[in-house]
A and B are shown apart, each in its own frame.
Chain A
Amino acid sequence: MEKNILIVGVGGQGTLLASVLLGNLALMKNYDVKLSEVHGMSQRGGDVVTHVKISDTTVASPLIEKGEADIIIAFEKLEAYRWLPYLKKGGAMYVNEQQIMPMPVVLGQVDYPADIDETLAKAAQTLVKFDALALAEEAGSSKAVNVVLLGAASNALPFTEEEWMDVIEKYVKPKFIALNKDAFAKGQAV
């Protein structure tokens, strides 16, 4: 069993909690796991990426290479498009439909690509594209968008419902556990 999961988004969107939950699930199941993340300057609204590599043997490099990701979880549409070359043939993408304009687009220097939807559909064997932000708000907080997306992606991951609930209980602050469980269920039902 090997799963390479790329979590991409914009600095400040909460991509880090998603990777912490995934990493600890892998640890609970006695898999080897490595994660790699971005700190510092990029966190100020730049594009951010977290690599999660899970294996029943040994993980060497913490980085996923182009064409190696089984799953890409994208918190923003342009970021899904930016990291698309990392998707494996037959891979799955879970994409939040939110669009956050980068400054060069806001300033009119370049256009936000118009054909993202088509390109994603062509490249991904499974493409689940939905308004994760709306579902997170329904669950009680826009910040739960990370767990909504994990819920959606859980359908392609080798962990049971029980294990997911267990890891949410362990690594989410007590007062947000119920909210996050709800957010997870909403994502899972997509």
Chain B
Amino acid sequence: MKRIMLGNEAFARGAWEAGVRVVSSYPGTPSTEVTETLAKCGDEVHVEWSPNEKVGVEVAVGASIGGARALSCMKHVGLNVAADPFFTAAYNGVTGGLVVLVADDNGCHSSQNEQDSRYHGRGAGVPVLEPADPTECKEFMKLAFDMSEKYDTVVLVRSGTRISHSRGIVEEGERVEREVIPYEKNFRKYVAMPAMARVNHVKQEQRLAQIAADAHEIMAGSIPLNKEEMNDPEIGIVTSGICYQYVKEALPDASVFKLGLVNPLPLQDIAAFASKVEKLYVIEEGNPFLEEQIRAAGIPVHGGKDMFTIQGEYSANMLRKGFGVALPDAGIDNTDAPGRPPLLCAGCPHRGLFHVLSKLKTTVMGDIGCYTLAALAPTNAIDSCLCMGGSIGMEHGFEKATGNSKNLVAVLGDSTFIHSGITGLVNMVYNEAKGTVIILDNRITGMTGHQQNPASGKNAKGEIAPALDIATLCRAIGVKNVFEIDPFEIKELEELIKAETERDELSVIITKRPCVMIVKQTEPPQMITDACKNCRQCMKIGCPAIEIKDGRPYIIKESCIGCGLCAKVCPFDAIKKEDK
């Protein structure tokens, strides 16, 4: 049957059809829906959310050693976290097929950087497959499992925002069940010690060379992995992934060498293509990954990064412009259109905390999650944001540099704390920090679309699971001062933050209130009464439900969820609940 599938759904479908049995991932835009889709399968696939990507890959490696086909999915920065097991598993190879899916985010739609994961694939020495549409997402995923077992290698499938989050028509196939391969002890393969690693490194190089030699005949179902499309020989383009679609759109007459395998590169095949065209161009988003290798092989490249940028996303119009194709000019000047930055939701539990931190002018080492939005106006309450769990280490370093932990905090979410914050907190205990760490426990992984985590009480399939008690964990690793508080009790919260940042000992404050998107609204909306003096204190919390109308603050009934934070900050008691 044909269905419209999101690229990520097609990846999931491909893994399912390939007989995947174990899936272990950490959510991250734009990769999340692959694992979410697989979590909806039956018992034939075990799917779990891992606390971080490193654990996710380790679980998948173990499943492969145990004889099952296994998959781990993550966003580009997640592969940095998983790089340790990934690079060594790349030496050892597999028993059951082992695939890692990574989704890059050119253009930083929802990420802190736009790093190019192809380098991780090349650095680790594994084949990297890159599909260009949802059908290829499914077929390349199936091929990845086959290649993994055939060549005894981990396979990296590389996606990106426009591949993962585009939809197209995909023909569904059947699942092929695969028996778990019986376990046989093989310590020379799986024990990464120097003597074995030296041997396995050689094998890894050999299989990469074999894959490069075989590349021209590798098929993903009926789709050639690499494909030469000869048209007008004046322009020859080497490209892959979403850029292939932009090339087809902008330069339909050009000759194209489409790479589905971006590591190892079939340089002989590319050289043969280059010899048939007059001018060779390399079109790739991100870094000159293909271009540098092609140039290094002595193949003349007429245009690449000298024509098109390293930064951001490409488009058909960008290529048209570069190749001198005329663009329509609508002649519309809308440069006065105000931007619409994303915001913390109306009723978001984080708003109470950031109102207080903004008021206290606290220096805030921030982290990755919805709460990073508090860096924007009007709260402007975050000083730094680096990586998952990074707030704690940065806060500690800042304290050691300045010798002062007063009015300084680290702020991070429950899922982020579990992902990579715990070790940072252990470090603070060990190295006798005096700072304050605030953990925003909203009972869910919010920004990526509400995935469960080890503290949420449910597993990836939505079943009841043991819930980690964060306060107990903090005490167990040696934090003496641990507090739990509702972030909407802003007076008490303010007193607590003042007291703990003054204290010459390490403290952890856990703000507890569930994400407003997972609890149903029960309170009537708020309204501004005639007692309003137009002082605009309520505007300072940055709630999307409060606007200015006729020169005064006004609460949009449809947007307000009745959390009451605005009423608490109003000095004139002018905000009341509407009658039910």
Contacts and interface: CB of A to CB of B under 8 A. Distances in A.
Interface in A70-106: 78-79, 81-82, 84-85, 87-89, 101-106
B185 interface: no
B544 A45 contact: yes
A75 to B, nearest CB: 12
A107 B340 CA distance: 12
Contacts of B334: 81-82, 84-85, 113, 119
A123 B340 contact: no
Given A34-B166, A85-B334, A104 B339 contact: yes
B316 interface: yes
A34 B168 contact: yes
A10 B547 CA distance: 16
Interface stretch (B208-216, B324-332, B405-413, B458-466): B324-332
A82 B165 contact: no
- Mostly, the A contact residues are mixed
A63 interface: yes
B317 interface: yes
Interface in B1-16: 2-4
B342 A43 contact: yes
A189 interface: no
Interface string A99-133: 00111111111111100000100010000000000
B109 A61 contact: no
A65 interface: yes
Contact of A40 (B316, B376, B447): B447
B338 A61 contact: no
B163 to A, nearest CB: 9
A155 interface: no
Contact of A123 (B167, B242, B330): B330
Interface stretch (B245-253, B478-486, B560-568): B245-253
Nearest to A58: B248
Contacts of A60: 245-246, 248-249
A46 B341 contact: yes
Contacts of A187: none
A62 interface: yes
A135 interface: no
Contacts of A43: 342, 449
B249 A46 contact: no
Given A102-B338, A104-B377, A106-B547, A44 B162 contact: no
A43 B340 CA distance: 11
B135 to A, nearest CB: 11
A103 B373 CA distance: 12
A38 interface: yes
A11 interface: yes
Interface hub of A103, A111, A142 (most chain B Cβ within 10 A): A103
A78 B162 contact: no
A107 B539 contact: yes
A78 to B, nearest CB: 6
Given A67-B328, A102-B339, A119-B332, A36 B546 contact: no
A127 to B, nearest CB: 14
A35 B10 CA distance: 14
Contacts of B30: 39-40
A42 interface: yes
Interface string B25-43: 0000110110000000000
Nearest to B540: A107
A106 B317 contact: no
A63 to B, nearest CB: 6
B31 to A, nearest CB: 10
Interface hub of A46, A78, A106, A113 (most chain B Cβ within 10 A): A106
Contacts of A103: 340-341, 343, 376-378, 542, 544
Contact of B110 (A36, A41, A87, A123): A41
Nearest to B8: A39
B169 A41 contact: no
Contacts of A151: none
A44 B377 CA distance: 15
B330 A67 contact: yes
A38 B338 contact: no
Nearest to A10: B340
Interface in A1-52: 10-11, 19-20, 23-24, 27, 32-47
A41 B2 contact: no
Interface in B323-376: 327-330, 332, 334, 336-345, 370, 373, 376
A168 to B, nearest CB: 16
B343 A44 contact: yes
Contacts of A111: 336, 338
B174 interface: no
Contacts of B32: 39
B338 A41 contact: no
A44 B342 CA distance: 5
Given A46-B341, A85-B330, A87-B330, A66 B447 contact: no
A41 B327 CA distance: 31
B420 interface: no
Contacts of A19: 167
A113 B548 contact: no
A20 B342 CA distance: 23
Contact of B338 (A36, A105, A123): A105
B312 to A, nearest CB: 13
B4 A27 contact: yes
A37 B165 contact: yes
Given A40-B30, A61-B249, A11 B330 contact: no
A33 B376 CA distance: 38
Contacts of A38: 109, 165
A169 B2 CA distance: 18
A88 B327 CA distance: 12
A170 B392 CA distance: 49
Contact of B342 (A42, A82, A106): A42
Given A60-B249, A104-B341, 9 more contacts: A27-B3, A45-B343, A45-B544, A62-B245, A66-B327, A103-B542, A106-B539, A107-B378, A107-B539
Shortest beta-carbon contacts, A-B, top 4: A40-B110, A40-B29, A67-B328, A46-B342
Interface of B: 2-4, 29-30, 32-33, 109-110, 133, 162, 165-169, 242, 245-246, 248-249, 315-317, 327-330, 332, 334, 336-345, 370, 373, 376-378, 447-449, 539, 542, 544, 546-548, 558
5 contacts: A37-B166, A61-B249, A85-B330, A107-B539, A110-B338
